[in-house]
Chains A and B, each alone.
Chain A
Amino acid sequence: MKDKKNLTTEINPEIRDILIEMGAEDIYKCYQCGKCTSVCPWFQVEICDYPVYKFSLETALGAVASSEDKKELEEEIDLIYRCVGCEACLEQCPHGISTPNILRAARRLLVDFGSYPETLKSIVQKTHNVGNPFGEQRENRADWAKGLNVPDFQQGMEYLYFPCCLPAYETRNQKVAQATVGILQKCEVSFGILGVKETCCGEVIRRIGAENIFEEVTKANIKEFKDSDVKKVLVTSPHCFTTFKNEYPEFGADFEVLHITQFLSKLIDEGKIKPKKEFNKKVVYHDPCTLGRKNNIYEEPRNILKNIPGLEFLEVENFNRSLSLCCGAGSGGLWLEWEKDERIVNVRLKQLMDTGADIIAVACPYCLQMFEETLKSMSTDIRVMDVAEILYETI
């Protein structure tokens, strides 16, 4: 039996006010209905008990990240960093409360104290030092484009193609960037890349709570874009997309950003891309949270796939569009290890495989990476492909 003192929560207005200042301003809207909790992806992980609905009230009490007991604090850090930021809760909350933002406030506090998971500390450091979370060398950033005749971005070009760190360095994801430039070249789009001058958009470090470093990275990127006279950016990652579109303007950014599926869907509608080769596969589309729920882009990727001859398009029943389930990689989740029976990705993959599809189509490098890694340990023939890769195969 715990001693009574530890069970008593004292209201801590100081911590509460700091958390509100750091972005937890929604807490007073909560009426404790609990809808957030049963729509959270962790609800579908059998052995996991993740009490999302408690965070607003606990924050209002100032009882978040305030424990002086080391073990208790560790357990709390585990809860605070468990959130994958998918916003399924926000999507259904009757009062529009963003629990990811409340938890991000707590994360900022923990980052300030230096009390956050070591793996995440390391990716914040690496992004700060070499411009990507993997600690890869800056001079290798454009290696994926070797031999593809991809020009460096120059004044007068219409688009900057910004592939994100995963497609820049990770071998499987590099194929997506390669397919994407393949399509752009075929359609004679005027574009270039920043190459070795490119730096991570900073999305994940902001989600982790390292606000100061995020600001530093952001300001440097904005300056780089301005100096290079970038007006329109095409991105592969929904995470770059949302950061550029919805968060960079806070810091003075002034450029247009398009997700590659928006761009390609438009080219198809305008008749500038005509998928010709048959793609005789059953394809299920997985809505990335950051593309769908956060940015309302549901139809464009579907439009691309549905225009491909021979392709049989499938949906995940009950869990598509705004009700899609996260792959588990968001808000730092890609770098956190959970026990095998405690992973969101397994639940999502089961839903996707139950459709009977041959191919899982994604439109996000995180989802691709998460699914690929997990499928390696499964005996299944199902494959994961980016929408751009599928399209590239058919033109």
Chain B
Amino acid sequence: MKKIGVFVCHCGRNISSTVNINEVVEEIKKYPGVAFCTDYTYMCSDPGQDLVKKSIKEKKLDGIVIAACSPSLHELTFRNTAEKAGLNPYLTEVANIREQCSWVHKDIKEATPKAISIIESIIEKTKLNESLSPVKVKVNPKALVIGGGIAGIQASLDIANSGHKVILVEKSPSIGGHMAQLSETFPTLDCSQCILTPKMVEISQHENISLFVYSELEEISGSVGNFKIKIRKKASYVDNSKCTGCGVCSEKCPVSVDSEFDEGLGKRKAIYSPFPQAVPNKPVIDKENCTYFLKDGKCGVCKIVCTLNAIDFDQKDEIIEEEVGAIVVATGYELYPMENMIEYGAGKYPDVINGLQFERLLSASGPTQGEIHRPSDNKIPKRIAFISCVGSRDPEHHLPYCSKICCMYMVKHALLYKEHIPDGEAIVFSIDIRTSGKDYEEFFTRAKEEGNILYIRGKPARIIKQGDDLVVWCINTLTGKQLRVKCDMIVLSMSMISSSGALELAKALRIHTNDFGFFTEAHPKLRPVESLVPGFYLAGTAQGPKDIPDTVSQASGAAAKVMTLFSSDEISHSPIIASVDEDLCSGCGICIAACPYDAREMDERKKIVAVNEILCEGCGACISACPSGASQQRNLTNIQIDNMISVLLRSNTEQPV
């Protein structure tokens, strides 16, 4: 029989105000198997831990129960404490009498017996615990970064610069993401492409980075330290080893379609490179629009004009298999579809455009060479209305969240418009201007004053086309006056949404997203760059709306986490995983189907289903599926669970625990 010590924590008044600690200690002392029981104000403090260590040694304890807060907070603390006193860490258990007891009860008469029951059930578990040691897993120090926007670029460079190999996968023909589309960036107004392109070039030149553009992650298996991945490299019908990126093919291609890079305001060819500084600067053929593919080989102009014979219409998609130890998800964002704003005629009126479209009009590399012309008739707009919170902060019809960057890009848009067209008038319709970033409020003040920009407080209800004009209907809620403002063009500050493939990717990676497809961090404050599933890290707007400085910070943070993982050859993996009793296992294989991690594998020689200790995450699915009881969770066997339940059921609390 084990000699078990129980340590009851007051957690200041968090526990002791609703649980009678003295009563608990006296009661637990009487419980069979308990050799020692005491209490302390803060068991997690240094003196508290010293008390635990001293008691283990003096009382020769061979199992301890800490009755305190949730094990998700201090289990590790106390396991380490026990280890220092010479006790196997897995003989330490935490009874949660705070979150599951004191915090949810008001009546001390109810909470005290419940706390006793909880502790007793954990004592029963501890009695049958075995000494275990962590499973050691080798780490493959190579990272996969998904998404080649500024987040993916920064994470890749940081990891690569630390001496580790990186595979960067981007689904479009070039890296650069949305940042490549922007004109100037707030609050400093530096040219977006000018600060981005050096990083893009660095990616292409870095010896530690393998870049796959026009590619997507096809398959993934394995777990932290050892993932196996398959990448689908879509056929571009251009042999990149021959192509020099001279651009003659695009020039001669007879097909012209809307350019994604110019957000539909400009045209591109069927064989194209999205923008002049694209990395890599090799064109791809868009099969959906190419005459050669649409009309059975009629055309092929690009092949004729290419003197290097780089066009290869027979090229096929390629599957590339790789192994990596960590994955950074940096899949970025899209704008909420304008078509959803029927009251603004968006998607119907060509002169009602979104923020990214306005960026393209402002950009020197854009469809109008940086001159602002409105899309419908190329007229120079003399009055533009900028409308904020379009799609965001509207839980009833659109999105409940604040998209964070729209206020600032709108402030910037209004200022840049006035710089381009000094005699034009910029009118901003907003309900709040949120400028919570370094130097942001100062930028807003400067932009408003220097640009003589009119800010009206109110959300417009309608945009109505009257002849050549677009009329904004609004009420200025500060003056109570009705407004019908005639404008030449309207820019909607559309909110950010997660990129279209994010949900599918999350499913494939088995990591979580929130209701809106943004990847969920392990802890909103303390673990903001990790996913809950080990080995996955989050960077940029894939995790939630954010601006460039925050994106770059998070990307570097994710890279640092990857480097921490890669800093040792092997990592420890919890031994609280499935095990199999070889005498009982009949090799039926039900567990193989139940396992979501591919961790159960048939041992053909022994005719049993073994556990792959590296892949097993200890979820318990195979254990509940096993018909013979051969599969058991270590230190949480069926007998332990039965014993715990028996204690809880015989408890004399009035309410069920």
Contacts and interface: CB of A to CB of B under 8 A. Distances in A.
Interface in B396-449: 396-398, 431
Interface string B347-362: 0000000000000000
B395 A94 contact: yes
Interface size class of B (residues with CB under 8 A): 20 to 34
A34 interface: yes
A33 interface: yes
Contact of B475 (A34, A96, A323): A34
A54 B480 CA distance: 9
Contacts of B557: none
A38 B473 contact: yes
A35 B395 contact: no
B461 interface: yes
A228 interface: no
B431 A32 contact: yes
A33 B459 contact: yes
A318 interface: yes
B477 A323 contact: no
Contacts of A36: 461
Contacts of A43: 461, 473, 475, 482
B394 A37 contact: no
B482 A94 contact: no
Given A94-B397, A95-B396, A318-B464, A33 B342 contact: no
B343 A39 contact: yes
B21 interface: no
B474 A94 contact: no
A115 interface: no
Contacts of B465: 318
Nearest to B477: A34
A54 to B, nearest CB: 8
Nearest to A97: B396
Contacts of A137: none
Contacts of B394: 94-95
A90 to B, nearest CB: 9
Contacts of A28: none
Contact of B396 (A38, A51, A93): A93
Contacts of A93: 396
B477 A32 contact: yes
Interface in A37-71: 37-39, 43, 49, 51, 53-54
A12 to B, nearest CB: 22
B287 interface: no
B345 A33 contact: no
A335 interface: no
A39 B431 contact: no
Q: Which of A36, A94, A323 has the most chain B CB atoms closer than 10 A to its own CB?
A: A94
Nearest to B457: A34
A92 interface: yes
Contacts of B396: 93-96
A83 to B, nearest CB: 16
A32 B398 CA distance: 18
B462 interface: yes
Contacts of B457: 34
A41 to B, nearest CB: 11
Q: Is the interface of A mostly helix, strand, loop or mixed?
A: loop
Nearest to A94: B394
A340 B396 CA distance: 36
Interface in A141-178: none
Interface in B466-492: 473-477, 480, 482-483
Nearest to B473: A38
Given A32-B477, A43-B482, A323-B342, A38 B461 contact: yes
B5 interface: no
Contacts of B345: 318
Best-surrounded residue of A31, A32, A33 (most CB of chain B within 10 A): A33
A31 B431 CA distance: 8
Contacts of A92: 343, 397, 461
A33 B431 contact: yes
A323 B348 CA distance: 15
B474 A34 contact: yes
B462 A33 contact: no
Nearest to B458: A34
Nearest to A52: B475
Contacts of B398: 94
B459 A34 contact: yes
Contacts of B431: 31-33
B393 interface: yes
Interface in A2-45: 31-39, 43
Most buried by A among B345, B396, B464, B483: B396
A94 B458 contact: no
A31 B432 CA distance: 10
Contacts of A51: 475, 480
Given A31-B431, A318-B464, A38 B477 contact: no
B545 interface: no
B460 interface: yes
A33 B343 contact: no
A322 B343 CA distance: 9
A98 to B, nearest CB: 11
Task: Name the residue among B397, B464, B475 with the largest chain A CB count within 10 angstroms.
Answer: B475
Given A31-B431, A318-B345, A53 B475 contact: yes
Contacts of B461: 35-39, 43, 92
Given A37-B477, A92-B343, A318-B345, 8 more contacts: A32-B431, A34-B457, A38-B474, A39-B462, A43-B461, A43-B473, A94-B393, A322-B342
27 contacts: A31-B393, A31-B431, A32-B477, A34-B457, A34-B476, A35-B460, A35-B461, A36-B461, A37-B477, A38-B461, A38-B483, A39-B461, A49-B482, A51-B480, A53-B477, A92-B343, A92-B397, A94-B398, A95-B394, A95-B395, A96-B396, A318-B345, A318-B462, A318-B464, A318-B465, A322-B342, A323-B462
9 closest A-B pairs (Cβ-Cβ)?
A: A39-B461, A33-B459, A94-B394, A38-B461, A96-B396, A34-B458, A34-B475, A37-B475, A34-B477
